[in-house]
Structure 1
Amino acid sequence: MLDVQFSSTLPRFAFGEYDEVILDGISYRPLESNEFGYTFLRTDRTSVAESFTHTVLSQRVAAGELEHRRDAFLPEHAKRRLRFPTQELSTLSLKQQQKAKYHESLVRAFLEMEAEGKVNRTEVSVKSALPEIKYRAGKYLSVPSEGDATQAGNNTKIIPEKISASRLLKRVAAFGRHGMASLYGQGGQGRRSRRLGPDELALLARTVRNYLTMEQPSVAQVVEDVDHAFIAENLRREELREREADGEKHGQSTRPLVMPSRETIRLEVRKLDPFEVDVARFGLDEARKRNAPVGKGLELTRALERVEMDEWKVDLLSLMAESGIWSILSEEERASFGLEEGKKARWFLTAAMCCTTRCVVAMKLSRTPSKRSAMQALDMIVRDKGVWADAVGTHSPWNMSGTPELIVTECGSAFIDFDTRVGATDLGINIDAGPAGMPEFRARIERLFGTMSNNFIGRFTGRTFSNTVVKGDYDAEARAALTAEDLSEALVRWVVDVYHNRPHAGLPNGETPRMCWNRLVGRYGVAPMPKLELRRKALGTRLERTVSQKGISVLGIRYHSEEFGRWFMHARDKEVRVRWYSEDLGAITVELDGKWIEVPSVLKRFRGERAQTWMMAVREIRASVAAQKKINQEIIFKAMTRIREINANAIARQGLFVDDYSKERIEKLEDEFIIGFEVDETPGTLRMQPASDGLGIDLPTAPSGTQTQRPAGDPDHAAPNNASEAAGAPNPFADPDADWSFGDK
């Protein structure tokens, strides 16, 4: 089972008219919905309609059995799939990642300067601004990511060199139409459109202006006008050629004109100035209404339509705890969270807020913001947060989850990181960084941090202040009393029980954020959580491994499958790329010859287990059975079960802190901690216990009349291993793949 505890309030999902929903390998389109559920229509020739209740859909999403592809049947998306990669961008080759990052840095630098009014979309303007564009692009290009050919050192900026003004403008236009997929440059190579000469372009530009009339002709009508104009012009030129053959001199070109395609004409129409189009087609007053700036702000109607995400340096000094979760962590594990014995520290909070409902949908605490904090916050947005709420005993559910349509961030290195942006794109989320130095573009999340500082942090001793004048004689370090674990628990309690249930001035009729969320989700729904396999590829740690006959091992867990073994027999290069997800150790995703496949762990019981629980179990086992060369499955899973039972709430409270399971830390753990640790993967066997008097063995027998006769050789009814099992306790290790639990059934 996954380490997830769902809220009592079930979500209602939102599926659009052009979305594709895949259940049990069958493709559907949404037909209609009501308060009970959805009716889907199969996309194959049968066109069979099937109905699913909201409860069933919620269960299928939680089990990872439903795949949602937003706008998959829109014509624009269908065309995009022909031109650009259809697989997840984060799984493309390292060379493609490197090129895409290079182009994105220049595009983002251009858009940044365009927003400041320092450049416009003409070659003359871009040529004069190229030095500054390249310099600004270095800020994005220097942030390390997986596809980098060389890593920039400390205080080293990589400045792009090869770019022309015309090429940059084309990249900017493509990015505006198709997003990050256009930067990978697949599909369009080798297909060049026909070149139109000056005569064709001049006639095309004149005829396209037929669109600018009060009769409001359609684009199709303009296409007909252009076709007729070119046919008439070619007939006229043919007549001129006949006269020229008779000796008449006229001094005009007689070359036949190339007919433009329908797409070329449509693009020419789109190049027309929008305000000029509205004036010509609707009149000046209507054009002013359509194009005048609106001072009302964002018009949002649905939950998760826009999410703002930012970082805040918490105005509070906290102590390292001496009990709770920190007491069961090793020194190395404490250091991974940025904690040092006896030191007082300030934390950074990476938070995300639904702008429509003002609900907090993610919070992560870290000592230093990084792409790990940003990507783990993305993961928290889409997941149900009941496990964190229940761990601290909140009175209200924290059921705000789903896939956002747009995330707006600030320009910190964690958010402009290329891997973060590619991961969000793969999850189906548009992500955009607001203008640097202009927090008003993220006004809602900035206001949340102000509310936290005044209404939440102000209640604790150890508070810090923005300047020495406000601080006065207050000694924050001497008065620090709140532990890091207390801070995590207090944050969850305040957000879920206080902030979400307090009337918000920005919501209509004094609604609370929780009431607004429930109302809008009940009316419009939300996009469901992405599948586990997709989250693993998009957000998982990127590793490289050499495949052996035993498969691949990560943190002492072996992964193998039949398909993987067949590939190994014929592959020359055994080095592969891997995606490893710390929230589920039951499988990894591996790239084999350009195709990504899921490879399960050899022991199925690792499904749904978190890396933190496993590492704590490894430490406990090594301390107790250090002399054993191979560790029995029974020992491992008893230790993991004990950790979950004793420290379940402590581990859940720790879930608000950013885990450091980077590539470098995994390598360090394997070199220093996992080395020599080997799991015995053979099924559990019957072990005869010595007799109490030291003579022979005791043969356990069932009490008379309490057990029925078992068929011989039945694997589901293996003989008990000891006297306690003979008394009726289950033996979960008789079959390593059987369902198992501890305690009475």
Structure 2
Amino acid sequence: MPAERYKFGHNDRITIDGVHYRPSGRQGQANLLRLVIDNALVDTSIRPLTDSEYVRLHSDKKIRIEEGYYSHAFQLLRDRAAGTDLSDLSDLDDEQLRTVAWKVEWCVRFNQARIGAAGYMERPNKTPEGLAAFIASERELIHRWYIGTFDASRPPGRKRAGFPRKSYDYPGATTLLEWLDLFERGDGQPGVFRPQYANCGNRRQLDPRALAIVEGEVRKFASGNRIKPTDVFTRVEAELMLLNRRLPPECHVSVGASAIRRRIRKLPTILIDLAHLGPKKAELKYNPVGKGMVTLDGLTKLGRMERVEMDDWEFDLFAILKHRHVRPGVTPQARAAARVLQKNRVSVRCTVTVAIDVATKCIVGLHVTPFPPSAAGSKSALQSIVVDKNPVAKLARCTSEWPMMARPSEVATDEGPAFQGDFRTALGKLQVEHRLPGKDPRTRGTIESFFRTFKRFCRIYTGQSFSNVVERGEYQSEDMASILMEDVYMRLVRFIVDEYHHKTHEGLGGERPYKAWQFNRADNRHWPELNPAPDADKRLLAFGLAVPNRVVGVDGVTYLNAVYTHDLMGKMRGYLGERRITIVTDPCDMGAILVRVPPDLRHLFPCEAAYLRFDAPDLEGIGLADWLKNNRDMRRYEKQEKLAGNPFRLTAHLDLMRDAEEARKRAGVPSHVVSEAQLNALVKLVERGGALRRAEKAAPSGRPIGSDVGSGSIGVSLAKPARARRPARGTSLGTTATSDDSINMYGEDDE
């Protein structure tokens, strides 16, 4: 015998062996339960609970069901109707339950006021005037009660032609009277306000004989030939004509065009797009982008800068790439002469790289370039995350601030080449995790959704490129380009800082990203402290350019004719000697470089890091391009000065040389220039020495070495005969020569 089917309420809490679950519908013979940890649903954990398993757990008392636990409105209604079964409301969601509680509160307060209870001094009647007076006096109080109870405001009232729309949906006198009568007939039970939309209207107004024809032809509207509603109506008329021929005149069947149009509008949109657009385009259109990640570990919600998503996008807007012959600005007069101007300008589509914080939806990094996506552009956008962007905001004339600066915990990108190479190296140096969710855009839903916002920016200016040629029509996008390339970045900064950050965001529940950055509304407390942004040295190491084969000289490290110094450069030079080292430079600021200390010498600099910062204070704030231009100007100036000084310098040198030659002759000093005779004499000596070294040597001769010969003497020379030597000063003729008198010892001046 199959187990009795049991259905859980939408807001029930099911506890099995101490683990909490929340119902998530039913599939087949089992209820689907989602795991709950700290009142947060874990999307990746779903447990099926069959009816037979429920019976077993219930009999063993291992399962506990708390009805309406996750709905404050359900608990409030249960307290209102104490001792009453509210199972008829268990399948409603929390929004529907709050609406029921809103109606019940109006009825309860009116009944209390009618009998003078709960401090009411005036007793209203069930007349239109009495009900209107009660509504006018109580609507703000009841609305404040609703906001304080459910932490949300009531939705605005319905739109009615000729009447102003209510700021929230308080009832009118007639509506409140209907609520009171319904509440009274239901003995004050909240279940009487259960929505009954399914029972509204007559669903079978068409003649049954015509219904099959209408439904069949309406279904054919979703076809590849893209027929129009009028075509469907014509086909229905033709089929009904054949049907009416078989029927007597009094039984003829007819269908109005409005009934067919209503049924066409009820067709699923995805069905129509599948037929009209094809399966591939329909898949791209309806693949959900998603809300994006809300947790990293499945337990705690994301905090500020815990996950930053990055991607690049080609602008749907043509910008003017300034040419050397183009005017600095595009004026109305230039627009009138567009044909002439077109020859001297080039229109391009920019590539923008954006980094967005998932938790607050704030833009924390931005880079714009007229070139295709590249690792250099992605690296520049990454660098903008960890630097102060308020100076840029002021330069763009923003009214608001741009305080989003910190070191993110992880950066999520796609697997494109723009996010490889130098980009990954920079992330590693910043100690930031690189996340590659995959090619599915739904895994990076936050950044993918933001690019739709950029389309709003593109629509402000002329020169839109549009998505395709059909959408563009005859619009000349390139000819209509009006914004200069160098202005795109500043306009984007103004759009992000003053427009996007202060516009309510659906992903934040209607809150502004700027406010979400300052205060965590979800937890009703301030955000924890951010990871501090890297200091100047760490940013230079992560985003600078490595230059190998440098040396530490006497005056410091020289790079592009600029000299950088450090207090410890003398010590470093003493240990390095002529060893080559690597330096790191910043192309945007030539004021400092980092010099890498070899690993085997780092113990000699215990208070320093692996890099020493060498400074050139005179170059602070000067970029590489400006410095190279200054160098070229300096070399050009030196060349001009050299040419200008040649007549004076060379004339003086000739006069000095002539005077020196005359002085030599007067003094009788021989010329220090080698003459040809001196050269020939030296050649003859070298030739004679070579012949002697190659000749056969005679046997040793002469007396043997005595004991009185000093160490270092090796006997009589074989090159020349022994002869008497003049005694040294201070010695007698009969004294034997000492080691200092040996003919084979070098003197001090022999080298």
| Fold conserved between structures, TM > 0.5 | no
Q: What TM-score comes out, normalization by structure 2 length?
A: 0.40
Q: What TM-score comes out, normalization by structure 1 length?
A: 0.40
Structure of higher RCO (CA pairs closer than 8 Å, 6+ residues apart):
1
- Pick the structure with greater CA Rg: 2
